[in-house]
Chain A
Amino acid sequence: MDATDLSLNVNIGGIQMRNPVMTASGTFGYGSEYVNFVDLNQLGAVVVKGVTSVPWPGNPMQRIMETPSGMLNAIGLQNVGVDGFISEKLPYLRDFDVPVIVNVCGKTVEEYLIVTEKLNSADGVAGIELNISCPNLDCGGMSFGVDATLAHELVTEVRAKTHLPILVKLSPNVTDITLIARAVEDAGANALSAINTLLGMAINAETRKPELANVTGGLSGPAIKPVALRLVWEVYKSVSIPIVGMGGIMTATDAVEFFIAGSSAVAVGTANFVNPQASMEVVKGLHAYLKEADIGSIKELVGSLQVDPPTIA
């Protein structure tokens, strides 16, 4: 690819990227794991595994289960904690010329703020992505992301603590995602990530036990792509900040569909597990698509869905 080719350049909420292909949090570790297969300098951004104020041990086994065209996971956000991330993981990423977006989780607003403040003073963080699907312990375990008021409060508090660009990762497990999207936009989010995993479960008919120790888990992979596209389309029509589309993207063609639905960038997630080079292949494929279709910039695709007007009988 020609380094001077600007057709894939995007700016997501203030983060300038050479192309619109990111990695989805939790599917790319802390960047070093796939370095044999992915040139990090060729990615739009690296979104690292969610970090919390203290290390989290994670859930008991079993944590994952394959389902038709997808997988369920209930990892429980096992991570090294923000201090461990800054001292052990971030220095490695600084050697690359790629924006690093840190996914942030917490069980209380206070925990989100602790992580945010520590990331503020860390060198090499381009932005933060708030995972608002975590259970809020101050509200009986209800997820921040399923209530517009809770989500608004959380983003307002984080916004007051940081000048870093804030992406908010939306939960699909809601009645009307546009209410949450507008609430977090109003609270100062710079961009939205859509979507997080869909809650699901798998049951072993012989043992009558759940396949996951946590009983329920998050569904990802191609199985959720139609749902993700629909939600991106709905969010696109209701906000003006950019959307990072994700949910079952395996190929560049999948990614193109997300741009057409209204995404300004995309993230490759579960596909990384199946094909370590998936993100690179999406970058190359997008480039080829633009060239083939003679489109000067990926931005022209965003929200370009052609809906035929209803015919009048």
Chain B
Amino acid sequence: MRSNCSLNTYDTRTTILSNEEVAEAHYLLRCECAEIAQHARPGQFIHVMISQGPGMLLRRPFTIYTVEGDEITMLYQIIGAGTEQLSEMPTGAPLHVLGPLGNTFNLTTNPEPAILVGGGAGIASLMLLAVVLREKDIQTLGLVGAQHRARLLSVSDLESIGIAVHIATDDGSIGHHGYVTEILTDLLRETQWHRPTIYACGPHGMLAAVTEIATDFQVPTQIAMENRMGCAMGVCLGCVCPVRIDTDRFEYQRVCTEGPVFNATDIAWDVF
């Protein structure tokens, strides 16, 4: 995966246009960032300064959920003090947004159809991709997993662009009672979905399971990784993940620069 970081990266000072709870503990934030909107590609992310004081020092990385004109949205889960503070910020509050950052999903040489596998807020990383796949008229299926019904994300957004969605919840409150990876395995056994391309983002365990399934069925799979980040510009080396360079060796690569998108089978899952 080639990095195209930096040249078209902008540090934008903007304000929040809206910031609403769309599912339990999940928010959709909208802001105007014309240059970022213009250059954003599927898989890329933004690095957002939440606090204006030094107490909460670092920015937080979020995937770009949608782009519409000069506006971008981010769909995020409250997972700590930073996202909690962000969720409380009202319309009009200032926001520093750096982006777009990172590499992109590679759409050039992949077999069709496409299967999107999103776990929890991970589906947010696949929405821009979903739009581009549909623009290219590629048959696309969405597998969306959540802990329970109240935390289910993005189903109507996917359906509105013509993507059929299969749902799985941990407690069975809606859809398949279990994991999205179980639906994925069943699908790959059907001839209709033979030799697709998988694009996935979600919790670590889900991505490791998707990689195993992809290996078994020999399906090319790209995943968007997440990590704590410092600079998001490739400098601090804080966000690395282990990537295989041959059968018994790996190196630490930056999720912000060499990623966030990696070939699933390149990740050295046993090193985590």
Given A64-B238, A65-B228 in contact, is the A33-B6 Cβ separation under 8 Å? yes
The reply to whether A274 and B11 form a contact with Cβ atoms under 8 Å apart is no
A64 CB contact (under 8 Å) in B7, B228, B233, B241:
B228
Chain B minimum-CB-distance residue to A62:
B228
Does any Cβ of A come within 8 Å of B227's Cβ? yes
Give the docked Cα–Cα distance between A26 and B231 (Å): 11
A63/B238 in contact, CB under 8 A:
yes
Q: How far is the CB of A130 from chain B (nearest CB, A)?
A: 21
Task: Kindly state the separation between the CA atoms of A68 and B49 in the bound complex, as whole angstroms.
Answer: 15
* Of A36, A68, A69, A250, the contact of B7 (CB 8 Å cutoff): A36
> A250 touches which one: B11, B54, B56, B230 (CB < 8 A)?
B54
Given A57-B252, A276-B11, A221 contacting B54 (CB threshold 8 A): yes
Q: How far is the CA of A33 from the CA of B56 in the complex (A)?
A: 24
Kindly supply a per-residue 1/0 record for chain A positions 22-52, scoring 1 wherever the CB is within 8 Å of any chain B CB and 0 otherwise. Answer: 0000111100011111000000000001000
Q: Give chain B's interface secondary structure class.
A: loop
- Residues of chain A within 8 A (CB-CB) of B54 are 69, 221-222, 250
Please report B residues at the A interface, Cβ cutoff 8 Å: 6-7, 9, 11, 49, 54-59, 82, 96, 98, 227-231, 233-242, 251-252, 271-272
A280 to chain B, nearest CB (A): 12
A78 at the interface (CB under 8 A from B): yes
Q: Which residues of the partner chain A approach B240 to less than 8 Å between Cβ atoms?
A: 58, 61, 63, 78
Which residues of B have CB within 8 Å of A222?
54, 57
The SS class assigned to the A binding surface is: loop
Q: Is A270 an interface residue (CB 8 A)?
A: yes
- Docked Cα-Cα span, A270 to B58, in Å, equals 9
| A300 within 8 A of partner (CB) | no
Q: Does A66 contact B (CB under 8 A)?
A: yes
Q: A36-B9, A58-B237 are in contact. List 5 more A-B contacts (CB 8 A).
A: A57-B251, A61-B227, A64-B238, A65-B228, A273-B59
Q: Is A265 an interface residue (CB 8 A)?
A: no
Decide: A273 near B98, CB < 8 A? Known: A37-B11, A65-B228, A75-B236: no
Please, how many angstroms separate the alpha-carbon atoms of A182 and B240 in the complex? 38
Are B234 and A66 touching (Cβ within 8 A)?
no
B58, B227, B242, B271: which contacts A71 (Cβ < 8 A)?
A: B58
CB distance from A33 to the nearest CB of B (A): 5
Q: Knowing A27-B235, A66-B56, A273-B235 touch, does A58 contact B11 (C-beta < 8 A)?
A: no
Which partner residue on chain A sits nearest B234 by CB separation?
A33
Q: Report B-chain residues with C-beta under 8 Å of the C-beta of A276.
A: 11, 98, 231, 233
Beta-carbon contact of B58 and A34 below 8 Å: no
Chain A residue with Cβ nearest B236: A273
Please give me the residue from chain B that is nearest to A28 by CB atom: B235
Encoded as 1 (CB less than 8 Å from any B CB) or 0, chain A from 274 to 301 comes to: 1111000000000000000000000000
Pairs across A and B, CB under 8 Å, 29 listed:
A29-B233, A29-B234, A34-B233, A35-B6, A37-B11, A58-B240, A61-B242, A62-B227, A63-B240, A64-B228, A64-B236, A66-B58, A66-B228, A69-B54, A69-B57, A71-B58, A73-B238, A221-B57, A222-B54, A222-B57, A272-B231, A272-B235, A273-B59, A273-B233, A273-B235, A275-B49, A275-B96, A276-B231, A277-B11
Q: How many residues on A have C-beta within 8 angstroms of the other chain's C-beta atoms? A: 36
Cα of A58 to Cα of B241 in the assembled complex, Å: 11
Q: Chain B residue with minimal CB distance to A250?
A: B54
A70 close to chain B: CB less than 8 A? yes
User: How far is it, in angstroms, between the C-alpha of A263 and the C-alpha of B49 when the chains are bound?
Assistant: 30
A33-B6, A36-B9, A71-B230 known; A274 vs B236 contact (CB < 8 Å):
no
Whether A27 pairs with B236 at a CB distance below 8 angstroms is yes
Set of chain B residues within 8 Å of A274, measured between Cβ atoms: 49, 57-59
Interface bits A193-231 vs B (CB < 8 Å: 1, else 0) = 000000000000000000000000000011000000000
Asked if A273 and B231 make an inter-chain contact with CB atoms under 8 angstroms apart, the answer reads: yes
Q: Are B236 and A26 in contact (CB under 8 A)?
A: yes
Roughly how many angstroms separate A272 CA and B30 CA in the complex, as a whole number? 26
A305 to B242, CA, bound (A): 49
CA distance A227 to B44 in the complex (A): 38
Report the minimal beta-carbon distance from A211 to chain B, rounded to whole angstroms: 9
A65 to B234, CA, bound (A): 17
Contacts of B11 in A (CB 8 A): 37, 275-277
Q: Report the Cα distance A277→B231, complex, angstroms.
A: 12
Residue in chain A with minimal CB distance to B82: A66
Please provide the 5 A-B residue pairs with the shortest distance between their CB atoms, ordered closest to farther: A64-B238, A273-B231, A29-B235, A222-B54, A273-B230
Q: Judging by beta carbons under 8 Å apart, are B241 and A270 in contact?
A: no
Measured between C-beta atoms, what is the minimum distance from A81 to chain B in Å?
13
Shortest distance between the CB of B254 and any CB in chain A (Å)? 10
- Hey, which chain A residues are within 8 Å of B252, CB to CB? 57-58, 61, 78
Contacts A221-B54, A222-B57, A274-B49: A73 and B6 contacting too (C-beta < 8 A)? Answer: no
Q: How far is the CB of A255 from chain B (nearest CB, A)?
A: 15
What chain B residues lie within 8 Å of A69 (beta carbons)? 54-55, 57
Question: Which of B236, B239, B252 has the most C-beta atoms of chain A within 10 angstroms of its own C-beta?
Answer: B236
